[in-house]
Chains A and B, each alone.
Chain A
Amino acid sequence: MRLYFKYMKMIMKSQMQYRASFLLLALGQCLTPFTTFAGLYFMFERFGQLRGWSFYEVALCFAVTQLAFSCAEVFGRGFDVFSSLVISGDFDRLLVRPRSTVVQVFGSRFEFARLGRLLLSAAMLVWAASNIEVDWTLLKMMTLVLMVVSGIVIFLAIFILAASVSFWTVQGLEIANIFTDGGREMTSYPLNIYQKWVKRVFTFVIPFACFNYLPLLYILERDGGGGHPMYALIPLAGFLFLVPCLLVWRVGVRHYRSTGS
């Protein structure tokens, strides 16, 4: 962990070498979720509600996903761009160092410029949570934190899984974006607006629902078992998703074939 922060410091130093580009990027990144969020706002102004979900409720859902995703992206960017490490053969370098490959890939890249996005999402979360008509008990607040953490873990797990694919082929990686960008857009809204099979896939195959929709039912005390405190613990199930992803990664590392040189 200590090493991880050392890596972070190092990359911070490198990125600060190009200050103007850094600031512009941070500003630009800030604007992206802001525009989508504005879209959400205007949609609600027009239609009032979404399948019985009020604006602030959807905003909370939206903010949890955005915050989890931007956190995952700031810290897990190394996996997101991992295929370039494989193509250039620079992964060799990580393998001759006495540390776990996962930690090193994490440490290979940080997108500090995306911190802007992260801050904006966090502000949105606080704003939505304080405007919503919910009695914030301690357990509910813990659930909300757990939701965000679980979301980060799930997105990171998907990044790792997608990165593992590049051990076999460095082509067609765009398909992974269905799950990262697609998953983010999808879970920005309450899952019950979608078809049943969509809900099932995103609960049991990729547990997006575990960090977002299901525990949200508990927080908002909605129907469908929403009142049951077990729902507060569902985000923990999201952590399980990391296990198979790390296993695939390990198999992939053994399959790595480097480049000629």
Chain B
Amino acid sequence: MITVEGISKTFLVAKRQSGLGHALKSLFHREYTAVEALQNVSFHIAPGEIVGYIGPNGAGKSTTIKIMSGILVPDRGSCVIKGFTPWEDRVKYVKHIGVVFGQRSQLWWDVPVADSFELLRDIYNVPQAEYKNTMALLTETLDLGNLLQTPVRQLSLGQRMRCEIAASLLHSPSILFLDEPTIGLDAVSKIAVRQFIKTINKEKGVTVILTTHDMNDIEALASRILLIGKGNLLYDGNVQGLRSRFGTKRTITADYHENNRPIDIPGASLLSWTPERAILSVDTEQVMISEAIAKLSAQVELLDVAIDTQPIEDIIVQMYKEYQL
């Protein structure tokens, strides 16, 4: 359904130095540096998949999404989605996709949400009957009932995001691109959004590609992740695979009865220590987590233990080290 082959994109960025003198100079003469946003990226996505697209800021996530949604033209490479090349057949192609930019609204700011929806219906030429059905489904699953008559500027971020997602689905697209859909949302809204994405994927078979910095989004939704760093595709596979390859460290936070003897467990390093609390980093390749806890409880009288998996950012940092990026 989606085939991306060897896509590269380079941006020319004007070099700017601070100071008035340089600002004046740059009026006449500019130096540019080439930033390679994407280098030879290829992947294939099948219908009905939910793919999480992750990577640190500036890695090239948004650029890829923008190329796939026909906004940007890549320098090299091909991209065929549903038989279309997005930037060539833009008008025909974009009928089949929905796009949500988490940081940018597609609703008209000053008018009630319902008015925005109706204009979108006209833009996409959705037949009245179909529009009614879709609206009924969206209103119910996203709980939009009371929001429709409210001007967008009065909505909270969570409410707005629900409306944004609804707006991008009015024309029943078969592919949905979500660029940071949970950014800035509270826990309840995040869960609602995730739940909804799951529902439309299951019930309508919508293929979902989402970018995010929230690993919980990925774990809740994506059966597959693509990890990109500095313009290169670093990993393509499922979450467990990524964890077992790179996320082998666990953090144990232990509270115990006062104990002045320092803790010593082979294979684990002490991150911080007080007579009542210790934080340990355990490499599960060297010592099993159960073994580490057993040893720990032999040394101190445990009150509470919390085990945290490594955050995705750490895994990425570790990957970077491995790839020497």
Chain A interface residues (CB < 8 Å from chain B): 2-3, 6-7, 10, 13-14, 17, 89-90, 92-93, 95-100, 254, 256-258, 260-261
Contacts and interface: CB of A to CB of B under 8 A. Distances in A.
A17 B119 contact: no
17 contacts: A2-B122, A6-B122, A13-B110, A14-B108, A14-B110, A89-B104, A93-B101, A93-B104, A95-B69, A96-B70, A97-B94, A97-B123, A97-B124, A98-B123, A99-B91, A258-B71, A261-B62
A3 B69 CA distance: 23
A169 B16 CA distance: 15
Contacts of A95: 69-71, 90, 94
A42 B200 CA distance: 70
A10 B94 contact: no
Contacts of A100: 91
A93 B179 CA distance: 13
Contacts of A258: 66, 71-72
A6 B123 CA distance: 9
Interface string B1-28: 0000000000100000000000000000
Contacts, number: 69
Interface string B37-71: 00000000000000000000010001000100111
Contact of B62 (A7, A14, A260): A260
A254 B85 CA distance: 14
B101 A256 contact: no
B87 A261 contact: no
B95 interface: yes
B97 interface: yes
The 8 tightest CB contacts between A and B, nearest first, are: A14-B110, A98-B95, A96-B99, A95-B71, A17-B110, A98-B94, A13-B111, A6-B122
B109 interface: yes
Contacts of B36: none
A219 B304 CA distance: 95
Interface in B273-299: none
Interface string B66-101: 100111110000000000000100111011010101
Contact of B115 (A2, A13, A261): A13
A86 B69 CA distance: 17
B94 to A, nearest CB: 5
B174 interface: no
B151 to A, nearest CB: 8
Interface of B: 11, 58, 62, 66, 69-73, 87, 90-92, 94-95, 97, 99, 101, 103-104, 106, 108-111, 115-116, 119, 122-124, 151, 179
Contact of B71 (A2, A99, A256): A256
Contacts of A89: 104
Nearest to A5: B122
A99 B123 contact: yes
A199 to B, nearest CB: 33
Contact of A98 (B58, B73, B91, B179): B91
B106 A93 contact: yes
B2 to A, nearest CB: 16
A98 B124 contact: yes
Given A14-B111, A96-B71, A98-B123, 5 more contacts: A6-B119, A93-B106, A95-B90, A97-B124, A99-B91
Nearest to A254: B73
Contacts of B116: 10
Nearest to B99: A96
Contacts of B151: 17
Nearest to A92: B71
Given A97-B94, A97-B123, A14 B71 contact: no
Contact of A10 (B62, B69, B71, B115): B115
Contacts of A93: 101, 104, 106
B94 A261 contact: no
A90 B91 contact: no
A257 B10 CA distance: 10
B101 A261 contact: yes
A14 B101 CA distance: 22
Contacts of A13: 110-111, 115
